[in-house]
Amino acid sequence: MRHFSVRKSELLSWGRTRARALRARRGVRAGRRVRCERSGTVALEPFEVLDPGPGDVLVRVDLSAVSPGTERAQYNRLPGVTIEPPFTPGYSGVGRVLRVGPGAGGFRPGDRIAGPFHHQSLETVAASRCHPVPDSLPDEAAAFVGLGIIALHGVRRAGIAWGEEVLVLGRGLLGQLTGMLAEIAGSGAVTLAGRSDAVAPASADVVFDLTGNPEAIQRAVAAARPAGRVVLAGSPRGATPAWPAGAAAPVEIRGVHATQAGAVVAGRKTWTPREEGDLFLEWLACGRLTLTGPGVETIKPDECWEFYRRLGRGAPRVERALFDWRTLPDGERDRASTLRFPEVVVPLDADQEARRRRSVRLKHSSGWGGR
């Protein structure tokens, strides 16, 4: 019965896609994507996407960047996660334009662009949300444009004045970028702190909380000077504890979310994601910003289940990781779809899953295979 339900859903999706294609008079292409069907379960599966409509571009994705905190929370279904399975994670990547729709913002087939791409080999997306990549910038840097937009938006919302001292709670890539941008914005001193680092009370004019830890807000407020500003740029994964009366001097708390970009906040229009992303890529290309820290880990899409199990455990910590869609055979990564029935991904039953896990343990204990 379980097999039948999976096949039925695949056939329904196949039929809906072709109905949409007929109505819009657009072609259909097939690729591969990472799919979370339920909490703690991911797989690489076939999927289909329509050719671009007005204002859209079809992108052949080369690299898609992992956002470790967000994707770990989604995989483990932590409190505060709003997205429901099934879904495809990811929101940042780089690739090349395959096809363009009418009015696609000047993009042409073959252009290298970065944008809000999921972990999938093909994506049709609004051209207005994409960014041309400077020739001198490697793909491995451009793929992190989504995190750059978040960091730029947070620093802009903080309103850092010349010489103010800044504390960043969170040492990951987002914290590193936020610290560098705070220095560019005129901060007198920037300190990055991890969970185990000591933080002096009332020591910073501006405190960024990028941890996602619901209890960290108390630490952030305690570290802010009277009348200082606390910028919450990490989504808390749980309920924030009650705040004890009289525990700290008054501070201003500013919430930051990427969806605010381009909106009117506090009477002023913020930069749009397109403007923020273009600036981020330009500063990376000219060397004003650098992606420091450990090297980038590349993941083969067909090993996604192993990567997310490790990410879900939280150890060892994932700093910078990219899905490399160039490792897939061309026929799986991108092809024109036909009227054939869809490929069906049949889930493993309990015995098959147990055998697979035993083989993985044996592989690692023998020292053979992956990272």
Q: Is 346 helix (H, G, I), strand (E, B) or coil?
A: coil
CATH code of the region 151-267: 3.40.50.720
pLDDT at 279: 96
pLDDT score for 265? 53
Q: What is the pLDDT of residue 268?
A: 60
Distance CA(16)–CA(13), nearest Å, equals 5
> Same CATH fold, 151-267 and 2-144+293-365?
no
Predicted local confidence at residue 63, as pLDDT:
98
CB 92 within 8 A of CB 147: yes
> What pLDDT, on a 0 to 100 scale, did the predictor assign at position 321?
94
Q: What are phi and psi of 292, to 5 degrees?
A: -90, -175
pLDDT score of 136: 95
Q: Where exactly are the structural domains of the chain?
A: 2-144+293-365, 151-267
DSSP for residue 248:
S
* Per-block mean pLDDT, blocks of 10 residues, the chain (371 long): 47 70 79 90 92 95 94 88 90 97 91 98 96 96 95 92 95 91 95 91 94 85 92 77 66 76 56 92 95 83 94 85 96 81 52 56 42 33
Beta bridge partners of 297: 321
Distance CA 206, CA 185 (A): 12
At 343 the pLDDT is 55
The per-residue pLDDT for 260 is 57
Superfamily of domain 2-144+293-365: Medium-chain alcohol dehydrogenases, catalytic domain (3.90.180.10)
Residue type, 224: A
Q: What is the pLDDT of residue 370?
A: 35
pTM: 0.83
> Which residues fall within 8 angstroms of residue 34, CB to CB, at 6 or more apart?
42, 43, 44, 88, 89, 90, 118, 119, 120, 301, 304, 323
**63 CB-contact burial (10 Å; exposed 0-12 / middle 13-18 / buried 19+):** buried
